[in-house]
Amino acid sequence: MALDPEELVALANHGIMKLRSAVARGMMLPPEERDAAAIIVRKGALAQSTLDFEQIKQLAARWKQEEQPAPSSQTTPCHR
């Protein structure tokens, strides 16, 4: 499922916010609250999906990896 980080979602017991914020907040929850962590994502007018803490953790790791800069050997120098 492709998720838009800017999509509005509901983080259980924390309210409505953008998905990126909900994932970040979910990752900061104390360990004893993580089992109850859930993000409700709407996929249309009536359909919705719920992400549990394991899925939140995987999404956070994927986004973190995508934000890593490319190794310098793969970057192209800018010539003027």
Tens of pLDDT, residues 49-61: 899 999 999 999 9
Residue 35 included in any domain: yes
Confidence band, pLDDT 50/70/90 cuts, at residue 73: low
- The total of structural domains in the chain comes to 1
Confidence band, pLDDT 50/70/90 cuts, at residue 72: low
56 Cβ contact list (under 8 Å, min separation 6):
22, 23, 26, 27, 37, 39
Distance, CA of 79 to CA of 28 (rounded, Å): 43
Can you list the alpha helix ranges (DSSP code H) found in 1-80? 19-27, 53-67
Q: What is the mean pLDDT of residues 12-28?
A: 95
Domain of 47, in residue numbers: 8-62
Residue 16 included in any domain: yes
Residue 48 included in any domain: yes
Residue 2 included in any domain: no
Residue 68 included in any domain: no
> For the packed helices 53-67 and 19-27, what is the interaxial angle rounded to 10 degrees?
110
